[in-house]
Amino acid sequence: MYKRIKGKKFSRKTDQRRAFLRNLAVNLIMEERITTTKTRAKAASSLVEKMITKAKKGNLAAIKRLSSMLPQLAVKKLMANVAPRFMQRNGGYTRIMKLGQRYKDGSEMAIVEFIDHDEVHAAELAEKAKKITEKKKGVKKEKAAKKETKKAAKTAKPEIVAESDGK
């Protein structure tokens, strides 16, 4: 008898499919924004939202459960950075934006990202821009100081006049 099965098979066996979805979830957690096909995006989004809900609990059982599904680095990022951002939110942590068709095979493409991706990364980009401008100012000051020392060295040098023997 046919039973309704939730989720897609992605033309893979069970263990391959689990590993595939786990890799998509890890990439989404670590990068906070990935580009993939629409069906893969839906599957990854669903999986990551469940993981975030578990991470929000913050107890030992949740950490062990996530550690069984994800690598340690992804669990740390999920518990320390991602879950605290969504404490006030009840579900709907990810957004899927459709991009259109891929040129090669016509697959529907989509971007999956966390809802607050733009706000978080805007602050990071502002910090990076500030550091870059500080470095540029420092480099400009160093170049100006070098030019001044060269000018001072040129003006401070006594001119050496070559004496001729008179032959």
Task: Give residue limits of the domains in the chain.
Answer: 14-115, 116-156
Q: What is the mean pLDDT of residues 23-37?
A: 94
In tens, the pLDDT along 89-120 reads 999 999 999 999 999 999 999 999 999 877 77
**At 36, is the secondary structure helix, strand, or coil?**
strand
| Cα-based angle 14, 18, 24 (whole degrees, multiple of 5) | 145
The CATH code belonging to domain 14-115 is 3.90.1030.10
**Distance (Å, rounded) from C-alpha 35 to C-alpha 73?**
21
Tell whether the model's pLDDT for residue 12 goes beyond 80: yes
**Distance (Å, rounded) from C-alpha 23 to C-alpha 43?**
12
End-to-end CA distance of the chain: 119
* Residue 57 structure tokens: 């609990």
In 3D space, the residue among 109, 129, 125 whose CA is nearest the CA of residue 117 turns out to be: 125
The rounded radius of gyration (Å) of the Cα atoms in the chain is 29
Q: What pLDDT does 133 receive?
A: 76
